């Protein structure tokens, strides 16, 4: 069976097998799944079938992984607070662009204090800085994230992806719902992305470059919720690179 080469999100080289879950040997000689990024991505994403929350789930999963990776903090962040509080664009969806701005200013509650229902405004919306519930402020107050595209190649995206998982917006069509382990792409062309995922790694299979993603369609999608998308300039994506605060600022509101 033909071998692949790739990297997980976190910087380790991957030897993977076509058609299977990619695995790697870690710095201490142990084997691990490349898309787990040494265990940093732990949230299992499964959005509501009635209300699109892929943007909120992708952001929470990515930020949790980075907090675990850089600060050894294991926390579950409240998707529901984002669903209830972040301006919607389009109105029936969410906004991968507005959510980081909200988090930079208000931080996020712990999921235990504001559990996920999958429905907008349930539990009822409350002021973001209400004292109820614990808060963490993962993004820097200023310059809390960068936005990249693959319009002129993937060099900068892969630079950041070697370091940690990232958030991505992409265009999809109906084929995306049934992805298994084939490398997904579409000829659909829109001015805006319509779906959000976590970028978890990258590689090459049969001379085709791909990006490894964690999707929000549950574990039955792809392989355990992970799949591959084409990595080329013809398949446009937009990538959000979170800039995590120093650990001493994570629990302090900063004007």
User: For residue 223, which of 81, 20, 71 has the smallest C-alpha distance?
Assistant: 20
pLDDT at 6 over 90: no
pLDDT digits (tens, 9 = 90+) for 31-54: 233 444 455 566 666 655 545 788
Predicted local distance difference test score (pLDDT) of residue 151: 84
User: Per the domain annotation, does 250 fall within a domain?
Assistant: no
pLDDT digits (tens, 9 = 90+) for 162-171: 999 999 998 8
pLDDT at 73 over 90: yes
H or E stretch covering 82? helix 79-85
Q: Which residues contact 64 (CB under 8 A, 6 or more apart)?
A: 41, 42, 43, 75, 76, 77
User: Per the domain annotation, does 251 fall within a domain?
Assistant: no
Give the residue-averaged pLDDT of 180-189: 81
User: Per the domain annotation, does 81 fall within a domain?
Assistant: yes
What are the Cα distances from residue 65, in Å, to 3, 90, 92, 171? 28, 27, 28, 24
Q: How sure is the predictor about 24, in pLDDT bands with cuts at 50, 70 and 90? A: very low
**Number of separate domains in the chain:** 1
Domain that holds residue 108: 3-245
* CA 184 – CA 178 distance, rounded (Å): 10
Dihedral of CA atoms 181, 171, 143, 56 in degrees, nearest 10, equals: -70
pLDDT at 17 over 80: no
Predicted local distance difference test score (pLDDT) of residue 90: 55
Long-range contact pairs involving 102-106 (C-beta distance under 8 Å, separation at least 24): 102/128, 103/59, 103/63, 103/137, 103/138, 103/139, 103/144, 104/139, 104/140, 104/141, 104/142, 104/144, 104/145, 105/141, 106/135
pLDDT digits (tens, 9 = 90+) for 117-155: 766 665 555 555 554 568 899 999 888 999 998 888 899
User: Per the domain annotation, does 255 fall within a domain?
Assistant: no
Predicted local distance difference test score (pLDDT) of residue 89: 61
pLDDT at 233 over 90: no
Q: State pTM to two decimals.
A: 0.80
Check if the beta carbon of residue 27 is closer than 8 Å to that of residue 35.
no
User: Per the domain annotation, does 53 fall within a domain?
Assistant: yes
User: Per the domain annotation, does 205 fall within a domain?
Assistant: yes
Query: Which DSSP category does 10 fall into?
Result: T
pLDDT at 174 over 80: yes
Q: What is the mean pLDDT of the chain?
A: 77
User: Per the domain annotation, does 176 fall within a domain?
Assistant: yes
Q: What angle do CA 21, 9, 31 make, to 5 degrees?
A: 50
User: Per the domain annotation, does 165 fall within a domain?
Assistant: yes
CATH of the domain at 187: 3.90.70.10
pLDDT digits (tens, 9 = 90+) for 50-63: 457 889 999 999 99
């Amino acid at each position: 069976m033909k071998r692949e080469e790739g990297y997980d999100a976190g910087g380790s080289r991957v030897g993977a097998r076509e058609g299977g879950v990619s695995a790697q040997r870690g710095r201490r000689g142990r084997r691990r799944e490349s898309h787990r990024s040494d265990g940093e991505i732990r949230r299992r994403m499964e959005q509501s079938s009635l209300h699109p929350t892929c943007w909120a789930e992708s952001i929470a999963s990515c930020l949790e992984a980075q907090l675990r990776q850089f600060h050894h903090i294991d926390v579950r962040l409240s998707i529901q607070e984002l669903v209830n509080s972040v301006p919607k664009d389009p109105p029936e969806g969410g906004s991968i662009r507005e959510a980081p701005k909200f988090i930079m200013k208000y931080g996020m509650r712990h999921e235990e204090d504001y559990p996920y229902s999958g429905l907008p405004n349930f539990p009822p919306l409350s002021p973001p800085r209400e004292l109820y519930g614990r808060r963490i402020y993962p993004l820097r107050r200023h310059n809390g994230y960068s936005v990249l595209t693959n319009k002129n190649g993937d060099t900068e995206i892969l630079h950041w992806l070697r370091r940690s998982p990232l958030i991505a917006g992409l265009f999809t069509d109906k084929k995306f719902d049934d992805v298994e382990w084939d490398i997904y792409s579409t000829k659909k062309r829109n001015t805006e992305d319509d779906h959000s995922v976590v970028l978890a790694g990258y590689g090459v299979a049969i001379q085709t470059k791909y990006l490894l993603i964690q999707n929000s369609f549950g574990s039955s999608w792809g392989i355990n919720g992970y799949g591959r998308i084409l990595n080329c300039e013809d398949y446009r994506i937009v990538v959000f690179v979170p800039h995590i605060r120093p650990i001493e600022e994570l629990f302090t509101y900063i004007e």
